[in-house]
Each structure stands twice: as structure tokens, then as C-alpha cells.
Structure 1
């Protein structure tokens, strides 16, 4: 498939009487807006094409769902009453915008050198990131939202799949519920893994839908982890960071910074 073919398919599938679709040829970016509110989303066709080459129609279907859901949410006023158990943290890269397209400041916390924690309300098949204006309208403090999110994330299941390579054990959480990476905020889970590993504990959130723990016992483990995380990062629907972290003394440190500290075999 070529860019023009991808553009044509998206235009056909996203066409609606209340939408305006424009194309920025220079940036190869498709913009879909509500014709009345002028609110909308933009799609990088280059990035989507790269995903299509690996995942075919599934990549396009996910993009269509993302656009449809996003436009619907933009025209809805969020109501947080009775949704206390549906507030969750969401992990994003530090390059993720701190404001919505219409200038509303999102609620967030700093997390690591590579990641930030945003906050959301679950809407079933999707979720909406919370902004300061919404909280003010609902008369809820940001501190309360953050407290609820950190409490609720502990209720999510944490069963893992495991793989062993060259003596190093890798653990994967992948429920595809939108909050796999968010489980890195679960302090109880992190403590359990800290006590479980025999070597160094490494943690990675390459994209939204996976959380990786690694029990690194030799130098080869670092190489395997780096390659693994990069592959997940390239294939993720919502990429976060291609850098894994070492977790020591309650701190996350990007592994490349600590490369000279690799244990010798």
C-alpha cells in the first residue's frame, strides 16, 4: 500500500456529514474535524503506513476507532459523579502534549526522565484524559483524582507471561485494557517484583499496552531486553519509550545511563 492509497481509504471510511477532512501534503498528515466545533484529530500517514506494513488492516481499524472515539468525546461534557472507581493513571512519554488541542491544561505528574503520568476516566471502550477545567467544573481536586487513580490501579489484574533467555527471566503484563503500562504506578506490584528477582530488576513500558519486568542476571540480559523493548516500541499503537529502566532504591534510571554498571559474567 502507498500513502495515496492509505489516504483514500481513510477518507472513505471517516467521511461524515458533520466532518471536514483536510490533507497536509508536506507533512503527510490527515486532519479530521467536527464541522461545527472545529475540534479534531490529526493522523500521520507515514507512521500509520509503517504500522500497516506489520499489522495490515488491524492498524487501520484501530486508527478509525481512535478517530471516531476521540471526536465523540470532544463533543461530550465529562461527568465524574459516580465514576470514582473508573479513574486510572495513564503513562505517556515526556513529549506528549501537556494541553488539549483547544488549550485545556491536562492533569499530570512527573514520573521518570522518559515518562509522565496523566489521569483518565474510563468510558468502557475508551478513556478520556482529565484536564484542569473539567476538574474545576466537577469541583474535584487534582490531588483527589491522583489518589483515586493510584488506588484503582492496584485493583487491576497482574498475571504475567514469562520467558527465559540465557538465564534471564522476562515477565510480561499484556491485558490490552488500555492500562498495561499504567501498572508501573502500582507500588505494591513493584515491591513484589523487587523481592522476586535474583539479579537486577529492569522495567520497561515501550507502549501503552505492555509492561515488562526483567530479572537481569548477566550482561546478555541487557542486550536481549534492549532489542525486545525496541521491537515493542516500534509496533505499539501508543508508543511510550524505547528505553528500559533499572529500578534501584525506589528510583527508575534509564539503562543506557548505567551501562558501565553492567554486572560481569
Structure 2
């Protein structure tokens, strides 16, 4: 028997009961909202989406949602600072369609990367992180260059020990540590140069979603087809998708490419 929206609403009300929070149900939009009573900041949950995950994974899906909502609400109610937290500042990669402002209209700190990707900056808070906005910089008297310099240094300290898989004479390397910054390792130029130096063929890189970085040593035309399919599959499954287009790495530069079956890729 399938769970209904009303049944899931009741389950979430029980799980998220808190004297400081208010919950509400929008029957027309099939959404459930949890927010702080004082600030009215909160999270809106799509019930059909939760029910779909519940039908697949049972109570584990609700456990995960409860943890996510609780952590997100906690962060919303805290005041954060950058000074003294320098070691917790990292770059994160997002698609160019990702919003560049907070819901309150404050600009997020960003930097151009490729035609498909943009760099944002995050303050790591343990189980989650907060994207850094210009309001936080202004409050502390920081500038964008300082944030970028610190984040760039920190990303170079992250481990870069990929797992290797060879398919049809092509080597694929994967970094998927689940630390929230797997795709960010594309900004570690020393790592990319090392991979380039050791490659037998052409180097292509993919960041289909936040939690994986793929480096391909493409040694024949089949390798591009495999990479294209692999990138699309990861993109479709990712919690925070970035781009389904791989990137060619040449002369220390990254260029998005369309991969045409059985053909060399064309630069975008």
C-alpha cells in the first residue's frame, strides 16, 4: 500500500516536532514546510519526492531527511564568521545556472571558471556548509581575493588518490571521498598537471556532480564515447548536478566539449 501525502505529512510532523519550529502543509503544492517561529527562515519539502525515496528505502530515507532538515535549520539560526575559521573555507563548483544570490537577494561570492562551471566559496560547518556571500565579507572587512586565496590553498591540501578503472584501452580515474569537495579538486592545478604528465593519451576531466571528479586518459576514440556516457550517468544520479559535458585539459586550460559518437570531441 502506497503512502499518501497526508500520511507523510503526519510522519514528518512527528519527526520534526520542536517548540521553536512551526510546520505547515500546502495541499495545492504537495509541500511541507518547517521554519523557525521567530525568523520564519526554513525549508520547504516536496512530499511526492520524499514518498518516492521512502518507497525505495523505507525509514532510512526519513532518517536522512530529518538529519538534513535539523542541520539546515540549525545553521540558519547561527551567526557565522570567517576570521578564525580560515582552515574551513573551501571552493565549491556549481553549474553556471546555479543562483548567484541568496533568497534574501544578497550576492554570493563567485569566480568565473569555464563556460559550464562557476566557483563559489563555502564555510565548512562539519556536517554541512554555508556558501559565503558578500554581506559576510563586508561585515568582516574581507575582499574576494582573500577568500579565493585561502580557499585555493585549502583545496590543495585535500587528498588526491583516485581509484583507477581501465575500459577498452582507456584509463579512468575517480575521486569520490564524499567530503563535499570532490569536484572542487578540479581546481588543484598541481594534481591536474601530474595527471597530464603521466597520461598516455589526451586528458579529459568531468565534474558531473559535486561528489565526484573523473579524470580520463583517453587513448582511442572509444574512450570519448565511454566518458560521455559515464558523465551523463553520473550527472543524472548526482545530488547536486554540475555539468554533463566533459572538459578537455590542454595548456593548463579547461574547455567544455561535445562528444559526438565515434568522433573526436568538438570544443564548445
Q: TM-score, normalised by structure 2?
A: 0.87
Across the aligned residues of Structure 1 and Structure 2, the Cα RMSD in angstroms comes to 2.5
1:261 and 2:264 are equivalent in the alignment: yes
1:205-244 counterparts in 2 under 5 A? 205-244=207-246
Candidates 73, 83, 96, aligned match of 1:94:
96
Q: Distance in 2 between matches of 1:29 and 1:245?
A: 38
- C-alpha contact (below 8 Å) 2:89/2:123 kept by paired residues: yes
Q: Extract structure 1 runs of 4+ deviating beyond 6 A.
A: none
Partner of 2:107: 105
Q: How many residues align?
A: 263
Deviations 1:47-92, CA, capped at 9 Å, x for gaps: 5556566666555444333222221111111122211121100111
Q: Distance in 2 between matches of 1:54 and 1:214?
A: 33
Shift of 1:8: 4.5
Which sits farther off after the overlay, 209-218 or 242-251? 242-251
Which sits farther off after the overlay, 198-207 or 177-186? 198-207
Q: Distance in 2 between matches of 1:62 and 1:19?
A: 19
1:82-231 counterparts in 2 under 5 A? 82-231=84-233
Partner of 1:81: 83
Gaps of 5+ in 2: none
Gaps of 5+ in 1: none
Q: Distance in 1 between matches of 2:249 and 2:260?
A: 11
Shift of 1:227: 2.2
Q: Distance in 2 between matches of 1:46 and 1:114?
A: 30
Q: Distance in 2 between matches of 1:49 and 1:164?
A: 38
Change (3 A) 1:141 1:201: same
Q: TM-score, normalised by structure 1?
A: 0.87
- C-alpha contact (below 8 Å) 1:229/1:243 kept by paired residues: yes
Deviations 1:17-54, CA, capped at 9 Å, x for gaps: 22233344554443322121011223344555565666
- C-alpha contact (below 8 Å) 1:39/1:101 kept by paired residues: no
